[in-house]
Amino acid sequence: MNEEKSWQVTYPEGVVEYLDLFRDKYLQYDVFDPILHKYIQEHKRSDGNRICSLGAGTGRHEIDMAKFGYDVVGLERDKRSVEIANELFEINDVKVDMRVCDFLKPEEIDKVCSQIPKFDAIILLFIPISMYDYHRALENLKKYLKPGGVFITNCFGYREEIDRDKKVLRSDIEVINKAQLDKMIVRLNYYEFEKDIVNWDAIYLVPDEDGVVRMKKDHDILTVSPEDEVEDPIEVSKEEFEILPNYKITECNDSMTPPCLYEYLVGRRLLK
């Protein structure tokens, strides 16, 4: 692993609110989060229920986890996302300790986590970063994970229709019609599938108060690590962590992931 395999996730100004609407519609938190809860309870060996959520965004997973009875700390570097999350926590009547913090910066992690109790689970979900950065995240957080605690993330695999040795192009369109906003928001998606990487360009078309349609562009890179081919894509120390069984998610509709991909949970348990 090296820094050449790292890429930054930076959403253009004004995109977070619109991105959140599509997440709410397509990511099926009501199906996914109970699966996550069951996986945590099945595999953790520590005696508490403290969760640290990395890249917590606008707090969707954190709301469900708090309702399941977890003591949740959310780390998110984007201040606007933290503002939205805190508004949603109040609406849903849950308590989540949300912090502005970049989980890929050890000094920021230490500043926050050294002052609070350790965690029984650390989760990193739906964040378009590289496997190198998954590894960095775990290295930064492992000293704040209790013995027997679990680190859980989600990975993607290719469905059978994708030939890994060829470049495959796909595109689609998604529409959100939010009555409370009195507007329709359109997202145009363009995907380039090539080996272990998916380049994803998203164009948001949003009418402003004057009826003028504005365009916002976002670019993400997704890492694809088929569960039947890669034993440990995160490359953790076997002396420190036990590899937990992957859980392929079949309960959600296909819209859960970009086209041609399936999703699964990856877990690691801290030994000592």
CATH number at 202 reads 2.20.25
Whether 47 maps to a domain, the answer reads yes
User: Are 14 and 136 part of one and the same domain?
Assistant: yes
Same domain, 40 and 150: yes
Give the pLDDT score at 145: 98
Instruction: Say what the pTM is.
Output: 0.91
**pLDDT value of position 151:** 98
- pLDDT score at 216: 87
Q: Residue 97 has what pLDDT?
A: 97
**258 alpha-carbon distance from chain centroid:** 14
Same domain, 187 and 213: yes
196 plus 243 within the same structural domain: no
Q: Are residues 28 and 135 in the same domain?
A: yes
Q: Do residue 229 and residue 214 come from a single domain?
A: no
Asked if 153 and 134 count as a contact pair (C-beta separation under 8 A), the reply is yes
User: How many domains is the chain built from?
Assistant: 2
Same domain, 114 and 197: no
Quote the pLDDT of residue 179: 58
Q: What is the pLDDT of residue 150?
A: 98
- Smallest CA-to-CA distance from 155 within 227, 55, 229, 57 is with 227
The verdict on residue 247 lying in a domain is yes
Q: Name the token pair of 110.
A: 């230490």
Where do we find the tokens 């009555």?
179
Residue 8 lies in a domain: yes
89 and 183 both lie in a single domain: no
Name the burial class of residue 211, with classes exposed (0-12), middle (13-18) and buried (19+) by CB atoms within 10 angstroms of its CB: exposed
Q: Is residue 163 part of a domain?
A: no
On whether residue 34 sits in a domain, the answer given is: yes
| List of the chain residues with pLDDT < 70 | 1-4, 8, 10, 12, 178-182, 229
CATH number of the domain to which 58 belongs: 3.40.50.150
Q: By the 8 A CB rule, do 97 and 73 touch?
A: yes
How far is the C-alpha of 47 from the C-alpha of 26, rounded, in Å?
34
Q: Which two structure tokens, joined as six digits, stand for 90?
A: 């109040």
Range of the domain at 189: 168-218
Structure confidence at residue 185 (pLDDT): 86
Q: What's residue 4's pLDDT?
A: 52
- Whether residues 144 and 79 share a domain: the answer is yes
- Provide the pLDDT for residue 182: 67
